Amino acid sequence: MRALLLLLLLTTALVPKTVLADCDPNDPICQQIKQNDQHKKDVEALLQQLQQSLADAQEKERVAQELIKQLSGQIEQQKKAIADTSLKLAKTERDLRYTGADITRRDQQITLKQQLLDQRARELTKHGELNYVEVLVTSRSFTDMVDRVAIMQQIIDSDQRQVKSLKADKEQVRQLETQQQGRRQEQAALLKQQKDQKAALDKSLADQQSVLAYEQSLEAQYKEQAAVQSAENDRTAKKAIELQAQYAAELERLRQEAAQRAAAGGGGGNTGGGGAGRLGWPEQGYITQGFGCSDLLGEPYDPSCPSRHFHQGIDIGAAWGTPVGAADMGIVSDVVTGCSEGFWSCGGGYGNHVIISHAGGFTTYYAHLSAVNVSVGQHVNRGDIIGNEGSTGYSTGAHLHFGVLYNGSWVNPQAYLA
């Protein structure tokens, strides 16, 4: 079941995602970049899931191995206990056999003694008087007769005592036998209990070994899937580099075409190697201040200007809050927010502003914004809303300061605006 889930996740991750809405439908390279980025995120997410699953499987393996070790130790102890009880039970069985043989021997002795006693008693009963007459006649004296009668009586008394002693010994042996039988029953019950416990431990050990084998199988699957995903992640990263290179090449081609059109149309000015039509207007409005030397003391210092101050972009005037769009596709390289109106030094005088890096060596600045809608690293297309016009930083009224750098030098934005 888990293997099927992994396969399903992998299949889902490899399905192409829909193109994001911020890409121009006519820009296939942008669409591929967005799709590749989303696919890379999906692969990385799945790879993290696999790594977590692998860690879980390894932890379960560790627990199973620890339990197997404990169970194996308990089983060995149980085997020793069973062997010890088995030896005790065997000894008790042997003692019982010896005791039974002793009882049989004592029974035989009692029977023999009883037979002798019975025989003498019958002789005395049957011939008692004749015997006494015989003793009287054959006796040499009265004393001899008394002695002989006393001896006969002693023999009979001795036989009776021996029979009584043998019966007492037999009873003791019987009691010993009863004790041994009780001990045998106890040891047999203990042996059965120990064997049952060992059987339960054997079953638990088999279960844990099955769990260990299953988790090891899962670990192998996770490692295999992680290797596949890592390879896919590397492939996606490589593809991203290739697509970015294609994207940059396409942007450079467009820039060169625009420059050629501008040159063919006789356009000029400080283009810095570019031409009209390279950039789109960030907003519609009037140019309230142009590019170049300025009499405003708040502009950056430039000794080459008679006024010693230089305006590094153009100011576009429109209603406060007018949406500001990216002049071209690119990557947001810097964002400054948190400035409010009245703090002229905030943001280095630019207030809330956005900087976007483009292909072909171009960078565009959007300053004095009242709001910013993008973040560093975000990809934008031409016309994407990046913020709203305002009057933050060094500003005396709502306007957009729009600046353009080409290969690190400020250029006139009007030379590149369509």
Find, among 377, 294, 274, the residue nearest to 331 by Cα: 377
Q: Confirm whether pTM is higher than 0.85.
A: no
Q: What is the pLDDT of residues 189-237, one digit of tens each?
A: 888 888 888 898 889 888 888 888 888 888 888 888 878 877 877 887 7
Q: What is the pLDDT of residues 147-165, one digit of tens each?
A: 656 666 777 677 678 767 7
User: Is there a contact between 391 and 369 (Cβ–Cβ < 8 Å)?
Assistant: no
Return the axis-axis angle of helices 28-138 and 2-14, rounded to nearest 10°: 170
What pairs with residue 112 in β-bridges? none
What domains are there in the chain, each with its CATH number? Answer: 1-266 (1.10.287), 286-415 (2.70.70.10)
Q: What is the pLDDT of residues 238-274, one digit of tens each?
A: 877 777 777 777 666 666 665 665 565 433 333 333 4
pLDDT at 43 over 80: no
User: Is there a contact between 294 and 314 (Cβ–Cβ < 8 Å)?
Assistant: no
Query: How much is the pLDDT for 403?
Result: 93
223, 229, 234, 240 alpha-carbon torsion, rounded to 10°: -170
**Angle, CA 212 vertex, CA 226 and CA 210 arms, to 5°:** 125
Query: How much is the pLDDT for 144?
Result: 58
pLDDT at 1 over 50: no
Q: Which residue has the higher pLDDT, 314 or 11?
A: 314
d(CA 112, CA 357): 126
**DSSP-derived secondary structure for 244-276:** HHHHHHHHHHHHHHHHHHHHHTT--SS-TT--T
